[in-house]
């Protein structure tokens, strides 16, 4: 929850402080949605059962058919860290977001609802997809802006 609140706060502050970055900020937020959709699609592709469905290690185990790989929590936590890093533009905020994302991901392993490779794959997916979408839009805007200023 703290990571979600930090994401909303950092995007809101950046939105009002730097209007020129709004398209890239919106793209970063959209990238979170794209990463989540990719995570859901990969779950259907891999259909890996959760560790708690094999061994009684979790107090609450998601129902059968709610697959383990990749971790949606890992995907969303690291996607949020990318958005915070981009929006805040401060190294301390970026590192704090990464630490929170790691805690979220490892918490899912500790709960017994994911394997370590599930959260690692989710982290990779969240980082790559969200950063890719934000950087692609940012690059497009820079190219468009530089071509408008040419005589």
Domain ranges of the chain: 2-143
Give the position of tokens 């890992």. Answer: 74
Tens digit of pLDDT for each residue in 68-102? Answer: 999 999 999 999 999 999 999 889 999 999 999 99
Helix, strand, coil distribution of the chain in percent, nearest 5: 80, 0, 20
| Global confidence as pTM | 0.87
51 band by pLDDT with thresholds 50, 70 and 90: very high
């Amino acid at each position: 929850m703290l990571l979600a609140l930090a994401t909303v706060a950092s995007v809101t502050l950046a939105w009002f402080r730097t209007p020129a970055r709004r398209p890239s900020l919106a793209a970063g937020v959209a990238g979170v949605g794209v990463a989540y959709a990719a995570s859901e699609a990969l779950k259907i592709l891999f259909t890996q059962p959760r560790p708690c469905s094999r061994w009684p290690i979790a107090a609450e185990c998601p129902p059968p058919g709610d697959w383990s790989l990749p971790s949606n929590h890992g995907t969303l936590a690291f996607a949020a860290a990318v958005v915070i890093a981009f929006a805040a533009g401060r190294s301390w905020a970026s590192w704090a977001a990464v630490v929170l994302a790691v805690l979220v991901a490892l918490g899912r392993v500790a709960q017994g609802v994911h394997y370590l490779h599930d959260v690692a794959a989710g982290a990779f997916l969240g980082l790559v997809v969200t950063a890719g979408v934000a950087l692609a839009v940012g690059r497009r805007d820079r190219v468009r802006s530089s071509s408008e200023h040419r005589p």
